[in-house]
Amino acid sequence: MYVAEGAPLTPGELDQIDAYWRAANYLSVGQIYLMGNPLLREPLTAEHVKPRLLGHWGTTPGLNFLYAHLNRIIAARGQDLLYVTGPGHGGPGLVANTWLEGSYSEVYPSISRDEAGMSRLFTQFSFPGGVPSHVSPETPGSIHEGGELGYSLAHAYGAVFDNPDLVAACVIGDGEAETGPLAASWHSNKFLDPVGDGAVLPILHLNGYKIANPTVLARIGDHELTALLTGYGYRPYLVDGSDPATMHQLLAATLDEVFDRIAEIQRDARSGAVTDRPQWPMIVFRTPKGWTGPKVVDGLPVEGTWRAHQVPLSAARDDEAHLAQLQEWMRSYRPGELFDETGAPRAEVVDWLPTGEARMGANPHTNGGRSPRALDLPDFRTYAVKVAEPGHSTAEPTRVLGGWLRDVMTANEPYHNFRLVGPDETESNRLGAVLETTGKAWQGEVAEVDLNLSRHGRVMEILSEHTCQGWLEGYLLTGRHGLFSCYEAFVHIVDSMVNQHAKWLKVTRKLAWRKSIPSLNYLLTSHVWRQDHNGFSHQDPGFIDHVVNKKAEVVRVYLPPDANTLLSVADHCLRSMDYVNVIVAGKQPEPNWLDIDAAALHCARGLGIWDWASNDAGDPDVVMACAGDVPTLEILAAVDLLRTHLPDLRVRVVNVVDLMRLQPDTEHPHGLPDAEFDAIFTTDRPVIFAYHGYPTLIHRLTYRRHGHHNLHVRGYKEEGTTTTPFDMLVINDMDRFHLVIDVIDRVPGLARKAAVVRQKMVDLRTEHHEYIRRTGEDLPIVRDWTWRAEQ
């Protein structure tokens, strides 16, 4: 590893930066422990100590040290810089720093920079009605909560894509570095364009420990660690030690060198002088866990060990010795030198800090972006497929969407604010048209056989769903737009990440000072019903269930039944803000049901009666409902059979695009009022519902509805394999024949009258079973079926 030389700080500067660091440490400890006596004007007593001691000290002094020195870089160079805190449990540190720089009190005026404000600052931390323990959305300057470890580096890269002047300093916990998502995201440097993107400065916080264990990276020796980081394509600089004065000089010298290096890389790339992939600098910051905290507690070593992780003096309220030690610890920062009589930070402690938007707590990138801009969206209607008759032509919906996305890409190229991410599936998902206007980002070596790779591409493909998700989140959190296209089954890999993002959105909605950010849009294609060639491993529609657990005001789920409805839904989603939108759509040739005007109207309604497919004359015997492209086809095929074999049966067809319409309006902003729901679905007729995913979800969403007891849902019931497309439906009992059987079984009085039809349906299922085993393909009556307009 490289070690920077020199001692760039004058004695005065060293004192100043050290005082700032001590102030940040003092304020961090105060937040963890105190609810009174913030300036230690009187001897500390039990009443000053919070009853529940919550927080994480161990990582905090390191975070504060880095924040202090990054302030110096911003002040000296005017560098546009944001700070990503991988160990987000170091929340008190970020709150302390933003309070010192003033950005905290601007957002929360009651937490003023005086004694009363400091008292509130301390009390509110991890306290009922106060602020959470992590670098939560409530923390100014944060785009990364860091509670769930692993996503810091991907977020940092996402933030700097298309922000050429921005540097994201990203602190990575050495424990965090053991996670899969973090391990994969080192490779982001193969996708970062030094011309059009900014830079990330990864800082591995090698404090040696996690909660109760050493970290892997701290115990492999410097040789292996250097090889690992170099192998990831970085140039590691070691900042190692525990003597504050030495460490101030060393980190200052190192930061000078790495920021020079970043500037040089960018200059070389932007002038066209160098086109090779640069070896970006990074820092290995090896300092004791719990640095400057209690060295020994109850006879056991704490500083520099895993014992420093949370609250080192856990009995400060009840144990005299702990209380005395806490007071001694806080006094060791010499608060009298740091804060004046009013409790404000002394001028010399903070007068060298960056000001205004240059402060990391006020960087506009961290709050909706420096220059947020809505997307210019070409009129989706002009991309429509022609539909003269419902069901008479076919299209590959995602391929049609690809044409529109290509032009979205082109229209917004001047603003550098739109990216498509995915794990190696853009072409497979038939969105390849976008590659007519942009390339796939790639800074690695290029072979002759490669196609569409480009150093400046805005399609981002890496075979890590975690990294895709992290990049996109970072990009959105800094005010730009994007779409994540993914195989439906494998998007589950990011279940937990979408949880965290949805939580972020829920909390930010309540924070008036937080600006809106563009929605997180998923296009899930290659879905459960059309993964028959790949088989069971590729079949899983459960992401919808997962997302629907999140707060209603945040999540939206769309199941467009054909190409034109997909266009309309995608247009809607790319215009929206602050949501998680999930679109599930097929890529295989499928019937076109609606012309573009009908499609737009249907999507605006969210669900509706398809009159042209119904013969109920306003009074149905049965409602045939569907949500999803394959279920829609199957319902219509079942309706065709019903109309042929049971022509007197009055059938109403209802299609659902916006799944959230099914919930009552008391539960979801898109929910249909009961009166409307009752009118469409009836309260007393059987509803046979073919649904794209697991049937239980439809029951969950509709259980309060009056007609719920009449609702019979077919969907995926975990029967999957490599088989024919229609067999997938048969093995899950959602095929047209079974749907007809369901109708016969559910409509009162029909069972006896339609016994022969029922038997025929059972026989057709048997015939199907034998036929596919003999021929390897579906029955011609299934393969060649089309909707008959004349019925």
Give the interface with Mg ion as residue ranges (CB under 5 A): 173-175, 207
Q: C-beta of 365: minimal distance to Mg ion in Å?
A: 27
Q: C-beta of 89: minimal distance to ligand TPP in Å?
A: 5
Out of ligand TPP, Mg ion, none, what residue 778 binds, judged by CB under 5 to 8 A for its kind, is none
Out of Mg ion, ligand TPP, none, what residue 140 binds, judged by CB under 5 to 8 A for its kind, is none
Out of Mg ion, ligand TPP, none, what residue 195 binds, judged by CB under 5 to 8 A for its kind, is none
Out of ligand TPP, Mg ion, none, what residue 138 binds, judged by CB under 5 to 8 A for its kind, is none
Q: In terms of CB distance, is 289 or 768 closer to ligand TPP?
A: 289
Quick check: 475 and 460 in contact, CB under 8 A?
A: no
Q: In terms of CB distance, is 248 or 309 closer to ligand TPP?
A: 309
Out of ligand TPP, Mg ion, none, what residue 631 binds, judged by CB under 5 to 8 A for its kind, is none
Q: C-beta of 150: minimal distance to ligand TPP in Å?
A: 5
Q: In terms of CB distance, is 23 or 182 closer to ligand TPP?
A: 182
Q: In terms of CB distance, is 208 or 695 closer to ligand TPP?
A: 208
Q: C-beta of 289: minimal distance to ligand TPP in Å?
A: 6
Calculate the dihedral angle through the C-alpha atoms of 594, 728, 582, 710, rounding to the nearest 10 degrees: 80
Sign of the torsion angle spanned by Cα atoms 253, 255, 257, 263: negative
CB-nearest residue to ligand TPP: 173
Alpha-carbon Rg for the chain in angstroms: 30
Q: Which helix (H) or strand (E) covers residue 173, if one does? A: strand 166-173
Tokens at 295, concatenated: 């060295």
Q: C-beta of 148: minimal distance to ligand TPP in Å?
A: 5
Q: C-beta of 94: minimal distance to Mg ion in Å?
A: 17
Q: In terms of CB distance, is 178 or 777 closer to ligand TPP?
A: 178
Q: In terms of CB distance, is 207 or 254 closer to Mg ion?
A: 207
Out of ligand TPP, Mg ion, none, what residue 148 binds, judged by CB under 5 to 8 A for its kind, is ligand TPP
Phi, psi of 700 (to 5 degrees): -55, -45
| Alpha carbon distance 721, 783 (integer Å) | 19
Q: In terms of CB distance, is 175 or 474 closer to Mg ion?
A: 175
Bridge partners, residue 205, by sequence: 173, 285
Calculate the dihedral angle through the C-alpha atoms of 268, 272, 277, 281, rounding to the nearest 10 degrees: 20
Q: In terms of CB distance, is 162 or 174 closer to Mg ion?
A: 174
Pairing mode of beta strands 651-656, 394-395: unpaired
Q: Which residues have CB under 8 Å from 48's CB, separation 6+?
A: 34, 35, 36, 37
Q: C-beta of 54: minimal distance to ligand TPP in Å?
A: 13
Q: Which residues have CB under 8 Å from 129's CB, separation 6+?
A: none
Beta-carbon-side half-sphere exposure of residue 711 (alpha carbons within 13 Å): 29
Q: C-beta of 65: minimal distance to Mg ion in Å?
A: 14
Q: Which residues have CB under 8 Å from 295's CB, separation 6+?
A: 301, 302, 303
Bridge partners, residue 485, by sequence: 523
Out of Mg ion, ligand TPP, none, what residue 89 binds, judged by CB under 5 to 8 A for its kind, is ligand TPP
Phi, psi of 690 (to 5 degrees): -100, 120
Q: C-beta of 176: minimal distance to ligand TPP in Å?
A: 4
For the chain, count helices (H), then strands (E).
26, 22
The 8-class DSSP code of residue 361 comes to G
Q: Return the amino acid letter for 628.
A: G
Applying CB under 6 A, the residues found at the interface with ligand TPP are: 58-59, 87, 89, 147-150, 173-176, 179, 205, 207, 209-211, 215, 289, 309
Out of Mg ion, ligand TPP, none, what residue 211 binds, judged by CB under 5 to 8 A for its kind, is ligand TPP
Q: In terms of CB distance, is 173 or 397 closer to Mg ion?
A: 173
- Strand, helix or coil for residue 54: coil
